[in-house]
Amino acid sequence: MTLGTTEATASTLLTHAAGLHARPTLKLTKLAKTFAAKIEIAVKSEGPWIDAKSVVKVMAMKAPKGSTLHFRAEGDKAAEVLAALVALVDRDFDEGAEAETAGAQADG
Amino acid sequence: MGETRCIGRSASPGVAIGTLFVLETAIAGRRGTGTPEQEDTALGDAIEVAKAELAELIGQAEGEAADILSFQVAMLEDEELAAPARAEIAGGVAADLAWRNALDAQIADYAASDDEYFRARVSDLADIRDRVLQHLSGAQVQALPGGAVIAAEDITPSRFLSHDWKSGGAIVLSKGSPSSHVAMLARARHVPMVVGVDFDTAKLKPGAPAIVDGAAGVIILDPEAESHQAARTRVADDKRLAAEAQHFLKRPAVTGDGSAVAIYINVASPDELAEIDPAICDGIGLVRTELLFHGHHGLPDEEQQHGAYKRILDWAAGRPVIVRTLDAGGDKPIPGLTIEESNPFLGLRGLRLSLKRPEVFRTQLRALCRAAVAGELKIMLPMVTVPAELAEARAHLDAVVVELAQAGIAHRRPPLGIMVEVPSVAVTPERFAADFFSIGSNDLTQYVMAAARDLNSVAHLADTGNPAVLALITRVAAQGAARGIEVSLCGDAASDPALVPHLLRCGLRKLSAAPAAVGRVKAAIAGIDLRS
């Protein structure tokens, strides 16, 4: 991550059990929308880059658990913006709940 | 005319008796279309009304339901959602058709995903699509009768939420998914639900009497008197047992004659713990680690594993946590790790596979030793067959501990125990120098009885209550007592109130059950008198 410039990039690992699905996507895009900077997200470092403020587009990336999320921002406080987004992902979107496993697997 | 049985996948347990209500999925078309400008305005208005309606529903909903509706509002607020429709409208297409095309394209995209969570979003998008279409066409929504068995191809979350489930009822779908938002809501509200049912909704007879067994995934249409009576008894039993289970849930498990029994839970991922109160159990008797290995981007690294184990230990707050090393193979294949075999249950699975892939095994052991600093972690090896395997695994653990110490990384060496699930161990447990034993009753039963656990044709043979299996369990419990090491049992038998008395009579005092079964297992234990 580069500091003090108007352009910045960052990446982090998505560990959320069900991937970037409804609730995490909503939290991520809501946070992105609080910033003036242009913010984009991708699951590959070479893109395609998606508008991180669009819940429709971010959800349609269908990023599964274990994806590396790449962010880039351009404009006001770009580095701070990315730090906030990465922190949200690293905090597992402030939830431990939600990801239900589909039916208990028999075991032993 | 006899009764008809339809089979599907369980999405929410419970038994319901009701009359069939067939939900129509088609939405009436619009009469007449205007200029592109008028059509664009019509779509904009319909979206605004849909948003307002959802906002009103959110006001009445809470928790999960409110979250699901908020997600739909956010989708509708995003101009990207309607952008393809607006482009078509500008090209002269009617608003309803353009909107349907745009949403159907997105729905098809989600439906093609190989990830069940994303496939399950189809019903959310269909919900959004239909709500807006209804406002475009001015059509009325069919009201759902209370207590009915709702049959449909699929059902949307807002449809589920707009219905009052207090008077009972169930959902049976020819499509659908256990991972859908509706399935989550159904489980939370105790509405029985079956998905992927082998019926054609167009051929169903509305108003026909129906019985739904949510756990078994069975629907009986036009049930005979006998099935009806059996279902009524089960509904009454379920009610009584649920009340009993609730009573015992947070109390320590004690038999009628005063013997204490430790009740642990089985978990598959840190995420499921968020919904469980640690006070219901004495610890975690089995953490399955296979789910961690099912990501789409290869095997999890040490950091990812460490994070997951630490979250589990934090939840347990000092209670013991037994983590089983990767038990891949058999009925749990993992892409890029397991190999295809003609008889996977007798092949390279569990510890056998870990020892063949020491780099994968050591990564897991390192993560476990590091996480062990945060609580009472114990390591358990699956599918041990001969003592040499335990010795080899122990050597890997020794090496990992040395590595961590040399690198100055915080760690602790956890106790190393084994699953007792292969008869060679159960017959002569004294040969295995493990720190503890945990009986895997499912595999032990299938290997002793030579009956696969997933075959209906031999299900009657795959019985943990068989005297041969119980004799082996008794043997292992006695060996543990003689050596002063812990013996627990973590198979399905520990969640079965009918089998629990047998397990206690074998000498076991530690059982690890499915979290949802804890209350009823404790209730069953309270009713047991070991003196008689």
pLDDT at A5 > cutoff 70: no
CATH number for the domain that contains residue B126: 1.10.274.10
- Counting one residue from chain A and one from chain B, the pairs whose CB atoms sit within 8 A come to 134
- pTM of structure: 0.60
B288 vs A29: CB contact, 8 Å cut-off? no
Q: Which of B217, B240, B263 is the last residue of a domain?
A: B240
Residue B30 forms part of a structural domain? no
Q: Which of B98, B114, B137 is the last residue of a domain?
A: B137
Q: State how many domains chain A has.
A: 1
B492 vs A65: CB contact, 8 Å cut-off? no
DSSP state of B392: H
Do B293 and B414 sit in the same domain of this protein?
A: yes
- Amino acid A106: pLDDT: 33
B288 vs A107: CB contact, 8 Å cut-off? yes
Query: Which chain A residues touch B67 with a CB distance below 8 Å?
Result: 22-23
Residue B29 forms part of a structural domain? no
Residues B521-532: what's their mean pLDDT? 93
- Is there a contact between B208 and B222 (Cβ–Cβ < 8 Å)? yes
Instruction: Categorize the per-residue pLDDT at B456 as very low, low, confident or very high, splitting at 50, 70 and 90.
Output: low
Instruction: Categorize the per-residue pLDDT at B25 as very low, low, confident or very high, splitting at 50, 70 and 90.
Output: low
CATH number for the domain that contains residue B9: 3.50.30.10
Instruction: Categorize the per-residue pLDDT at B446 as very low, low, confident or very high, splitting at 50, 70 and 90.
Output: very high
Tens-digit pLDDT profile for residues A6-39? 778 888 888 887 788 888 898 899 899 888 889 9
Query: Which chain B residues touch A56 with a CB distance below 8 Å?
Result: 75, 78, 80-81, 106
CATH number for the domain that contains residue A69: 3.30.1340.10
pLDDT at B178 > cutoff 90: no
Q: Which amino acid is at B86?
A: R
Q: State how many domains chain B has.
A: 3
Interface probe, candidates B69, B107, B117, B122, chain A, greatest A C-beta count within 10 A? B117
Residue B190 forms part of a structural domain? yes
- Amino acid B329: pLDDT: 82
Residue A68 forms part of a structural domain? yes
pLDDT at B82 > cutoff 90: yes
Of A89-103, B276-290, B437-451, the range with the lowest mean pLDDT is A89-103
Residue B532 forms part of a structural domain? no
Residue A28 forms part of a structural domain? yes
- Amino acid B209: pLDDT: 92
- Is there a contact between B115 and A19 (Cβ–Cβ < 8 Å)? yes
Interface probe, candidates A23, A28, A107, chain B, greatest B C-beta count within 10 A? A107
- Amino acid B454: pLDDT: 66
Instruction: Categorize the per-residue pLDDT at B7 as very low, low, confident or very high, splitting at 50, 70 and 90.
Output: very high
- Amino acid A2: pLDDT: 45
CB neighbours of residue B15 within 10 Å = 22
Helix (H) or strand (E) holding B118, with range, is: helix B116-119
Residue A102 forms part of a structural domain? no
Residue B474 forms part of a structural domain? yes
B332 vs A19: CB contact, 8 Å cut-off? no
Helices (H), B484-515: 500-505
Residue A36 forms part of a structural domain? yes
Residues B17-28: what's their mean pLDDT? 77
- Amino acid A80: pLDDT: 86
> Catalytic pick from A9, A19, A21, A26?
A21
Residue A99 forms part of a structural domain? no
Of B106, B184, B308, the CB nearest to A60: B106
Do B210 and B354 sit in the same domain of this protein?
A: no
Do B272 and B372 sit in the same domain of this protein?
A: yes
Query: Which chain B residues touch A67 with a CB distance below 8 Å?
Result: 296-297
Averaged pLDDT of chain B: 89
Do B132 and B147 sit in the same domain of this protein?
A: no
Of A55, A66, A106, the CB nearest to B74: A55
Give the 3-state secondary structure of residue B324: strand
Tokens 């044709």, residue? B457
B121 vs A59: CB contact, 8 Å cut-off? yes
Separation of alpha carbons B292 and B364, rounded Å: 11
Residue B426 forms part of a structural domain? yes
A107 vs B311: CB contact, 8 Å cut-off? no
* CA angle, A26 then A28 then A29, to 5°: 70
Do B376 and B309 sit in the same domain of this protein?
A: yes
Residue A106 forms part of a structural domain? no
Do B150 and B196 sit in the same domain of this protein?
A: yes
Residue A103 forms part of a structural domain? no
Which residue segment(s) compose the domain that B153 sits in? 4-24+143-240
Residue B305 forms part of a structural domain? yes
Q: Which amino acid is at B63?
A: G
Q: Which of B9-18, B55-64, B308-317 is predicted most confidently? A: B308-317
CA distance A101 to chain B (A): 7
Which residue segment(s) compose the domain that A48 sits in? 7-94
Residue A21 forms part of a structural domain? yes
Tens-digit pLDDT profile for residues B101-153? 999 999 998 888 888 788 888 888 988 998 898 888 766 666 777 889 999 98
pLDDT at B27 > cutoff 60: no
Do B223 and B201 sit in the same domain of this protein?
A: yes
* CA angle, B499 then B500 then B504, to 5°: 125
Residues B27-55: what's their mean pLDDT? 81
Query: Which chain B residues touch A29 with a CB distance below 8 Å?
Result: 74
Q: Which of B184, B217, B240 is the last residue of a domain?
A: B240
- Amino acid B139: pLDDT: 62
Share of chain B above pLDDT 90, in %: 58
